[in-house]
Amino acid sequence: MTRARLADPQPAVSDRLQARLAARLAARGIDPAAPVLADTPEPIPALEAAQRRIPYDYRDAFADHPAVMAWVRTIAGAATAPHTDDHNPHWGSGGRRVIARGPSLLLWGNTGAGKTRQAYGAIRSLTAAGCAVRWHAVKAVDLFGQMRQRSGVDVEWLLRDIARVPLLLLDDLGAGKSSEWNEEITFRLLAWRGENHLPTLVTTNLAPIRTERTDPRQPVLRDKVGDRILSRLSGMCTPVEFDGPDRRFQRA
């Protein structure tokens, strides 16, 4: 019985087709023998959107302070898929994780020591980690300006909206003039966020309380915001001290 003999394997691409492909690649300036380039990182739309809202000075900020980095890991680890608290939690199983409840930070210390930069770096880190971050950043003095009664603006709705944002950066607390009205706005904002465990980043150039090493000529946060607000901050925030020279002077 004669056994059928398999034909010799044929190349997948004929010499003629290979020549045509090589000519096309050469015409486009592509060398098949060149080393493979590293993959281009995938763009992160949420980070790109955040970049447009972050002040220009802080668009390259990153969180490298150990306490701030630990806070970022905690918040990112507690992020949940949307609708997981609803009656139908499986609806959110495939969605991007959103910022949930978590601790807050009080970043205090010398002027220009990098507190605001670390705060914006934390926001960028959370966004880059794949969390859907709805955040709001405002300087305390600007917040008080926004809360002034004016035509066509519902300031109560505006305050409620800021108080309920998942992540808030309240910058330069204690920098403006003290008043009972300013204290009321700050208390309402922080009290609601503290009671609902919404992550908040608060920065201030003032030490929280007076100690033996505090310059007697220098006010402290308690002097500027009062005991009620300081108590709220103490209950909701981990204090992180920043020292060192003013980086703005160093750049100048």
CATH at 180 = 3.40.50.300
In the chain, which stretches have pLDDT less than 70? 1-13, 32, 34-47, 82-96, 245, 247-252
Residue 32 domain-assigned (yes or no)? no
Residue 3 domain-assigned (yes or no)? no
Residue 28 domain-assigned (yes or no)? no
pLDDT of residue 92: 45
Residue 23 domain-assigned (yes or no)? no
Q: Is residue 47 a contact partner of residue 127, using CB atoms and an 8 Å limit? A: yes
Q: Which domain holds residue 207?
A: 45-251
pLDDT of residue 115: 96
pLDDT of residue 190: 97
pLDDT of residue 235: 95
pLDDT of residue 218: 87
Using CA atoms, how far apart are residues 36 and 173, in angstroms rounded to an integer? 52
What 3-state class would DSSP assign to 27? helix
Total tally of structural domains belonging to the chain: 1
Residue 25 domain-assigned (yes or no)? no
CB atoms within 10 A of CB 194: 18
What is this structure's pTM? Answer: 0.76
Angle (nearest 5°) at CA 161 between 84 and 184: 125
Residue 153 domain-assigned (yes or no)? yes
Residue 40 domain-assigned (yes or no)? no
Tokens of 246: 């003013």
Q: Where are the beta strands (DSSP E) in the chain?
A: 104-109, 135-139, 167-171, 200-204, 237-242
The pLDDT mean for the chain works out to 84
Residue 155 domain-assigned (yes or no)? yes
pLDDT of residue 119: 97
